[in-house]
């Protein structure tokens, strides 16, 4: 499986999916047909997670060819990422606690055998190999994988979330962390996802039968509670001469780049990341951000060393808000050390949508038509 590294390629892939497969999406989406056939799903997540294309663009292109009622399920699936980001923005301590938890977890023999695909479960071992090879897994398979990891192999959910982040091209702090919490039973208290043999058999077209799993399990419990923090991003539009753009927020189409004297595209190395990414993932990010640089004038690629050197001279920056995760954690740390004044630039669509992330996805889902109408996405 090969993923595009350009916005143009991502848009072509979206258009091809809309024209050939979208009409059957709701019927076929849960089937994992194996690593060589992902035609029943759009595989757009690596582009959306880097914001080469946005969730709102996808919805607009889809709705230009289908009425909402015909593609409602697909639109809802696309907007999960918006919901998760908003949810974490409102509760940033969840990410902080996740990173702190990882520091105290050991990588024992059970863990090492699991990440090398040496368990007693054939399908799981195959998925480990697929993840390591293709840096991608079908969404339904990710749910099975997480459930088996937690409830059958008895490994900490945090280490599973870390493993995914290390290897996925579409690894996103919010979607990944919160999805693992949901499977474990922490996101919606007491409601967990338990992989079942019949379900795996059905949705792999009987490739894997009679999988021996622990299907009678209780959800994980955690006494920590997370209250909503009001969003306070101090966004004032274009207010500085220099703009910072991180690799997970590359949506530059509607940014007034000509208003900036300097635009810096930032790709952090593993030296300063809380979760160390596999080289394939770092290479993909490098290719994506380099391709974006070619599309606009006066953009400069920098790493954390060059960024720190910049902040010795420049103290005022606009920043396309990188959202809670590794990029934001590093930037926030740098802000404190260098006494920076940052003005976060946030998409109006995101700010409007995130207000509906205060509760569960059912509430958010009911407000998707309101979001689409607000921004004339139809």
Number of Cβ within 10 Å of residue 271's Cβ equals 9
Angstrom distance (rounded) from CA 340 to CA 318: 11
| pLDDT tens for the chain, residues 1 to 378 | 789 999 999 999 999 999 999 999 999 999 999 999 999 999 999 999 999 999 999 999 999 999 999 999 999 999 999 999 999 999 999 999 999 999 999 999 999 999 999 999 999 999 999 999 999 999 999 999 999 999 999 999 999 999 999 999 999 999 999 999 999 999 998 899 999 999 999 999 999 999 999 999 999 999 999 999 988 776 656 689 999 999 999 999 888 898 999 999 999 999 999 999 999 999 999 999 999 999 998 899 999 999 999 999 999 999 999 999 999 999 999 999 999 999 999 999 999 999 999 999 999 999 999 999 999 997
Residue 124 backbone dihedrals phi, psi, to 5 degrees: -60, -45
Angstrom distance (rounded) from CA 34 to CA 11: 24
Question: Would you kindly state where each structural domain of the chain is located, as residue ranges?
Answer: 7-89+353-374, 92-203, 242-345
| Cβ pair 298, 263 in contact under 8 A | yes
Residues with Cβ within 8 Å of residue 338, at least 6 apart in sequence: 308, 311, 312, 315
pTM to 2 decimals? 0.96
CATH class of 92-203: mainly alpha
Could you tell me which CATH number the domain at 7-89+353-374 has? 1.25.40
Angstrom distance (rounded) from CA 82 to CA 70: 21
> In the chain, which ranges are continuous DSSP H helix?
7-20, 25-28, 45-49, 55-63, 68-90, 93-103, 109-115, 122-134, 139-147, 157-167, 173-184, 197-203, 279-295, 304-313, 326-338, 348-354, 361-366, 368-374
Angstrom distance (rounded) from CA 112 to CA 359: 37
For the record, the structure tokens of 94 come out as: 């969840």
Q: Does domain 242-345 have CATH number 3.40.50?
A: yes
87, 96, 330, 359, 364 from 324: Cα distances, Å: 10, 9, 10, 18, 19
């Amino acid at each position: 499986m090969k993923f595009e590294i350009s916005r143009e390629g991502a848009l072509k892939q979206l258009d091809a999916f809309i024209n050939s497969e979208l009409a059957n999406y709701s019927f076929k989406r849960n089937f994992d047909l194996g690593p060589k056939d992902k035609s029943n799903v759009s595989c757009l997540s690596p582009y959306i997670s880097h914001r080469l294309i946005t969730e709102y663009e996808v919805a607009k292109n889809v709705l230009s060819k289908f009425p909402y009622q015909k593609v409602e399920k697909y639109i809802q699936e696309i907007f999960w990422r918006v919901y998760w980001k908003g949810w974490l923005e409102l509760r940033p301590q969840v990410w902080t606690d996740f990173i702190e938890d990882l520091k105290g977890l050991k990588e024992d023999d059970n863990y090492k055998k699991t990440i090398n695909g040496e368990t007693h479960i054939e399908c799981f071992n195959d998925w480990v190999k697929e993840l390591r090879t293709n840096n991608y897994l079908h969404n339904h398979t990710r749910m099975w994988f997480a459930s088996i990891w937690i409830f059958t192999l008895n490994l900490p959910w945090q280490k599973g979330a870390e493993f995914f982040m290390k290897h996925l091209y579409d690894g996103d702090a919010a979607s990944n962390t919160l999805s693992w919490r949901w499977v474990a039973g922490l996101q919606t208290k007491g409601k967990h996802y338990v992989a079942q043999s019949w379900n795996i058999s059905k949705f792999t077209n009987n490739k894997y039968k009679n999988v021996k799993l622990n299907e009678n399990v209780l959800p994980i419990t955690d006494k920590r509670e997370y209250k909503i923090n009001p969003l306070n991003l101090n966004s004032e539009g274009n207010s500085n001469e220099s703009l910072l753009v991180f690799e997970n927020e590359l949506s530059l189409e509607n940014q007034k780049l000509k208003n900036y004297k300097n635009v810096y595209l930032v790709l952090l190395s593993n030296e300063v990341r809380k979760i160390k990414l596999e080289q394939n993932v770092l290479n993909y990010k490098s290719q994506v951000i380099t391709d974006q640089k070619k599309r606009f004038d006066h953009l400069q690629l920098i790493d954390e060393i060059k960024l720190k050197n910049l902040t010795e001279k420049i103290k005022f920056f606009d920043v396309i808000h990188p959202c809670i995760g590794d990029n934001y954690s590093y930037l926030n740390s740098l802000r404190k050390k260098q006494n920076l004044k940052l003005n976060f630039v946030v998409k109006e669509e995101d700010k409007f949508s995130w207000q509906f992330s205060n509760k569960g996805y059912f509430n958010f889902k009911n407000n998707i038509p309101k979001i689409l109408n607000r921004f004339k996405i139809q």
